[in-house]
Structure 1
């Protein structure tokens, strides 16, 4: 049997207008007693009565805030086990136990098993019952809040460990080089997107930079990006470079992608041991930015030149054209320079009002203004990302990765 109590009186409960209460018990006298005490307490209660555990399972809902269960039945051989069954169906409701006069130890065991509170029937009155219900509900809320905070902290630590394991640590031995990165997946609460990057300095001093973008934004694309980055690093450490390396990556992509429609854009730069010249290969990817520091006669007071590297030697994205070729572009870096590689998440956004896209030219304009204001290193990256976000209403939905490698020739 399930009944609804109509004896209710309003009382101030903060944001709560009414408490949904479930009473589990088959003694009509006890049910009447609880109803009377609640009516006298001034609480506004919607009380459902369930004579059995089976009826309680059908009656409990997400709106149920408190469950009162009578554990003083003389034929109940294991009342604590019965309580555990109630706790199993309680969802987020607080559980308060009623015991008999001679069962106070049972009440302590019940709280140890997970109940929020216990009351002795012969000693309880309306105000005490009302206070126990209110406190139990608030205690349950506090416990649930603490549980979620602990889960969030654990998840945050796990995510940080996973991110450290998946995002690369640059292998650079030259103290004259400064390396900065920025990474942000487009998917909400995602660890990684389809963008990836890496930096490796091999024996002899050659520096290899790479940044890529797998089309799509799901977990499959993120996993594929990690696979391609690891394959690239392995090939570089094995001595491969240039067009041969890209051809091998193209083969890896063909075997690892989940469908033939998946492709990957990629920019790869190989800097000579002198750190003054480089070779670039573009596979359908936006051209990097080159910052040259032009110093005065005294070594200071110079200017900074910002340009986009030429795209005339441009090959197709990986995974699109069987047997594709990727021409080489020779780059004169100079003495003091910075190379900024990025994915299209930084330039595909709008320029503010209207449908116009920022593009590489727009990014060059922002970079010149940022350098004129003195932004360098990580500050330069953060400034550019912040300005692009502001142009798009602080909402960039695409994955975004930026890699900045700098050399101060005078310091070296």
Structure 2
């Protein structure tokens, strides 16, 4: 029989087994039976549980164990093997008088049991192969159940940590997307929020803590919550950013940590927007004429870089129908093609113009821009990513 391991080729891999058996005659019999049907099987013999535990490693595919050993008896033997090698298949060998022990062993975690006096080589080899495949199936199922549980827990945590917009104007549409760059992460360092205050004004914000770890994600949540509280308390514009800068300096763990942020305030009549930027990428403005980026100025430094900074602002006209899109740099720092060219603002504007021309709006617009940026990047964007789109009407 061919013994090379060739994944996906249908060629059986060479078996590496650990036989735990203190009776020399029984050990010789098992080895002979196996080598009759598979000469190249790799069998290591251990005569005590202590010796077996020292030999167990990830390369062992199946353990054949007699539960009656000089230094361990019954299911205690099995439990110690399972603890030492939880990912390895275990096949219990019993005598005629101990068949009931084999049944109990399967219930305790073994993949199967065999009565020594009833087996031949072919039956024993089939049982070993079956035990290995069953263990693999059990492990796959366990990982699937674990992944589902983690996914459900992630969804619950995200619902608690991601913002629910405070918005009661039916003329406005709110769409957002959020995706951390770290695998299996709940949140990244990006954050956003939307709050409509009692005077009818709507405040939207997006920010990006430098870095990508759990500490950055935690800091982003704290800054978002602080921003919401300050807005609801009546703080606006530069004074709000000055206070948020103080919060960042108290909450961060290193003087090198900074945060970029863009904040827009739409007046109660939905005719003008006040813009504050702290080192953050320029938002996009959609209307019936097309798409354009907000002016490069005014733009102050990122939060956490300079003490006592005054962040300038500018008021812009909105018109009757419009869309305002804030985003973090994860959307524009992907590559275009195989070279070093990045998408950047110019590339995003081209993609947005095409999407606008196709009549894409709301979540469809956001999803389309992200998908196109990933297509140009040749894969998933590596950085944390947040996009917030607030719109009124259909932009003509």
Aligned to 2:211: 216
**Contiguous gaps of at least 5 residues in structure 2:** none
TM-score (norm 2): 0.93
The answer (yes or no) to whether the contact 2:322–2:392 under 8 Å persists in 1 is yes
Report the more deviating stretch, 341-350 or 117-126: 341-350
Contact residue 187 and residue 193 of structure 1 kept, 8 A = yes
Seen in structure 2, the aligned counterparts of structure 1 residues 290 and 46 have a Cα distance that, compared at 3 Å, is same
Residue 54 of structure 1 is matched in structure 2 by 50
TM-score by length of 1: 0.89
Task: Report how far residue 203 of structure 1 moved.
Answer: 1.5
Q: 2:26 aligns with which of 27, 30, 51?
A: 30
In 2, the alpha carbon distance for the partners of 1:70 and 1:397 equals: 51
For 2:72 and 2:50, the matched residues in 1 are separated by 18
Counterparts of 1:229 and 1:241, CA distance in 2: 15
Output aligned runs, 1:101-140, within 5 Å. 101-140=96-135
**Does the C-alpha gap of structure 1 residues 186 and 16 become closer, same or farther in structure 2, counting only changes over 3 Å?**
same
TM-aligned CA distance change 1:76 to 1:120, over 3 Å? farther
Structure 1 residue runs of 5 or longer lacking an equivalent are 1-8, 294-303
Aligned-partner Cα distance in 2 for 1:383–1:336 = 21
- Within the alignment, does 1:184 sit opposite 2:173 as a pair? no
Q: Assess, with a 3 A threshold, how the Cα gap between structure 1 residues 15 and 236 changes in structure 2: closer, same or farther.
A: farther
Change (3 A) 1:352 1:68: closer
CA distance in 2, matches of 1:370, 1:312: 26
Cα distance in 2 between the residues matched to 1:405 and 1:176: 10
Matching residue of 2:319: 334
- 2: CA distance between counterparts of 1:16 and 1:311? 64
Change (3 A) 1:138 1:350: closer
Indicate conservation of the 8 Å contact 1:62/1:91, yes or no.
no
Choose the corresponding residue for 2:332, options 325, 347, 356: 347
**Where do 1:220-231 residues align within 5 Å?**
220-231=215-226
For the Cα contact (< 8 Å) 2:201–2:268, is it kept in 1?
yes
Q: Tell me the equivalent position of 1:86.
A: 81
In the TM superposition, residue 45 of structure 1 has moved relative to its aligned partner by 1.3
Summarize the alignment of residues 274-293 of structure 1 with structure 2, pairs less than 5 Å apart.
274-293=269-288
The answer as to whether partners of 1:231 and 1:249 remain within 8 angstroms in 2 is: yes
How far residue 338 of structure 1 moved from its aligned partner, in angstroms, is 0.6
**How far apart, in 2, do the equivalents of 1:22 and 1:353 lie?**
50
Deviates more, 1:97-106 or 1:324-333: 97-106
C-alpha offsets along residues 34-79 of structure 1, whole Å, 9 cap, x if unaligned? Answer: 1221123346411111010111012112111111111256x78841
Moved more, 219-228 or 185-194: 185-194
CA RMSD of aligned residues (A): 2.2
> What are the equivalent positions in structure 2 for 1:108-257 lying under 5 Å apart?
108-257=103-252
2:254 aligned residue (246, 259, 272):
259
The whole-number CA distance in structure 2 between the counterparts of 1:98 and 1:51 is: 14
Question: In the alignment, is the contact (CA less than 8 A) between 2:324 and 2:391 conserved in 1?
Answer: yes
Task: State whether structure 2 residue 5 is matched by structure 1 residue 20.
Answer: no
Contact 1:208 1:269 in 2 (8 A): yes
Question: Once the 2 structures are TM-superposed, how far is the Cα of residue 11 of structure 1 from its aligned partner?
Answer: 7.7
Distance verdict in 2 for CA 1:106–1:123, change over 3 Å? same
Could you tell me which residue of structure 2 aligns to residue 298 of structure 1? none
Is the Cα contact below 8 Å between 1:72 and 1:100 reproduced in 2? no
Secondary structure at 2:306 match in 1: coil
Q: Is residue 2:378 matched to residue 1:393?
A: yes
For residue 200 of structure 1, report the CA deviation from its aligned partner: 0.8
Change (3 A) 1:72 1:100: farther
> How many residues are matched?
392
- Is the 8 Å Cα contact of residues 67 and 90 (structure 1) preserved in structure 2? no
